[in-house]
Structures are given as C-alpha cells and as structure tokens.
Amino acid sequence: MVIGKYFSTQMIAISVAFATAGVASAAEPAAPSKQEFDTKVLYCKTCHGLNGEGFRGASIMPRLAGQQPDYVENQLKAFDERRRQNKIMANVSHALSPGMLIALTKYFKDLNPKPLGGAPKDLVPEGKKIFDEGIAAKDVPACASCHGPQAKGEGQFPRLAGQLHDYIFNKLTHWNTERGQDAKNPDSSAIMEPITHGLTEPQIKAVAAYLSTLE
C-alpha cells in the first residue's frame, strides 16, 4: 500500500485495518445513468461551486476539484456512518448509491479551476515553511511528507492545494469534535489528530493561507 511508507509504526495498525475495509467488495458497483449522474453533479455544484472550486455561502463549502478519489470516497462514507460529523453532508451522502459515489469521485478529480483565493498574502511565506519543514520543537512533521511537495495528495492523503483557507482553518481547529467520532471504527483521521494539537492558531492561519494559493 502506497501510504505505508509515510507512517510511523503506531499508525500502521490503523492503516492496515483501513485498507482491508476498503477492498471488501470485488465487483465495481453498477454505474448510474447519464441523466441521474448529471442531476446529482449539479446538486453538488450548487454548494461546492460550478467547477468544484469551493464556495463561501451560509457555510464554507470546500473545494472538491482535483481531490483524491480514495479520500473523497472515504469522507462520503464517513459522513454517512457519522465517523465524521456534518449534518448537511450526512444527508447528502446517505442518498448516494455505491455506483454514484464512485462516479462522483472520478468526476471531481478531473476538474482544475483556479483557487478561489482570499487569504492574507503576508502569511504565505511562514505557511510555506511550516508545510515544507514542519515544526521540530512541537514534533509536527512536514505536511509535505504526507500531502506531497505540491500538496496534491495521494490515496487517503487529501489534496490541500487550492483549498479554501477558512475551511482549512475550521477543520484543523475542530478536528476532535468532527473526525474519528466512532471509537469502534477508527479511521485515517487519527493520523492528523496529534498534528492539529501541535499547531497554534497563527500557525494554522499561515499554513492555510499558503495552501489556498497553490494551483
């Protein structure tokens, strides 16, 4: 498994359990009809932006464009199984057939709009340093070691490039109350948990600003 090479030994148990869960079904589920698919994608885009670039509305809708399919698939299941807490997405994901879910993950991967922007530019250099080097004094590893040097992600490691800075800030400051909420079904969110504690608010703002500028 590709992610294995990044993990410390304590995380291997989680990743193995996780990988096994992922290969349970052998056959690809039936694909939706074109009409069903188009209707559903349009629905996603009313919130996530016409090109999946993200949207600032009543709540902050994350960018889905270019996101890693394995990560998206797991998050949609996590919302439905309440491993990840979000009322809106729990309802959205509950209504997706397995075939629709797979088709949607492939679709959003291929979109490539410009980042939405809007972050304070003066924070970008500090954010880049944190992303590339981590914070040794706080045992925070380089973000790039898992999310990739360009922040494009891979497999269960999400793309962060071009993500909305305020979305990233919210996720990193609320990790414990949103992710990994089913103790009986631990998932890959456990990997990020200690990292979120090692970062101060100004550091999170800086790294979020940097990531939001990446194409």
In the complex with ligand HEC, which residue's Cβ is closer, 8 or 25?
8
In DSSP terms, 157 is beta-bridged to 154
Window of 25-33, 44-52, 114-122 that interacts with ligand HEC by CB under 6 A: 44-52
Separation of first and last alpha carbons in the chain: 27
CA distance 200 to 206: 10
Closest CB 26 distance from ligand HEC, rounded Å: 24
Among 195, 206, 209, 212, binds ligand HEC (CB under 6 A): 195
Taking every pair of Cα atoms in the chain, the longest distance, rounded to a whole number of angstroms, is 54
Among 65, 124, 161, 168, binds ligand HEC (CB under 6 A): 168
Among the residues of the chain, which ranges form H helices?
A: 9-22, 34-48, 69-80, 87-94, 98-109, 124-133, 144-147, 165-173, 175-178, 193-197, 201-213
Identify the three-state secondary structure at position 103.
helix
CA distance 22 to 19: 5
Among 21, 38, 43, 200, binds ligand HEC (CB under 6 A): 43
Residues 6 or more apart whose Cβ sits within 8 Å of residue 184: none
Q: Does 6 bind ligand HEC (CB under 6 A)?
A: yes
Q: Which of residues 54-93 bind ligand HEC (CB under 6 A)?
A: 59, 61-62, 64, 72, 74-76, 86, 88-89, 92
Q: φ, ψ for residue 140 (rounded to 5)?
A: -90, 115
Q: Which residues of 199-215 are buried (b: 16+ CB within 10 A; e: fewer)?
A: beeebbbbbbbbbbbbe
In the complex with ligand HEC, which residue's Cβ is closer, 46 or 117?
46
Closest CB 13 distance from ligand HEC, rounded Å: 14
Closest CB 202 distance from ligand HEC, rounded Å: 13
Q: Does 140 bind ligand HEC (CB under 6 A)?
A: yes
Q: Does 46 bind ligand HEC (CB under 6 A)?
A: yes
Single-letter amino acid code for the residue at 13: A
In the complex with ligand HEC, which residue's Cβ is closer, 114 or 197?
197
Binding positions for ligand HEC, rule: CB under 6 A: 6, 40, 43-44, 46-48, 59, 61-62, 64, 72, 74-76, 86, 88-89, 92, 104, 130, 140-141, 143, 145-147, 156-158, 160, 163, 168, 171-172, 178-179, 187-189, 191-192, 195, 199, 207
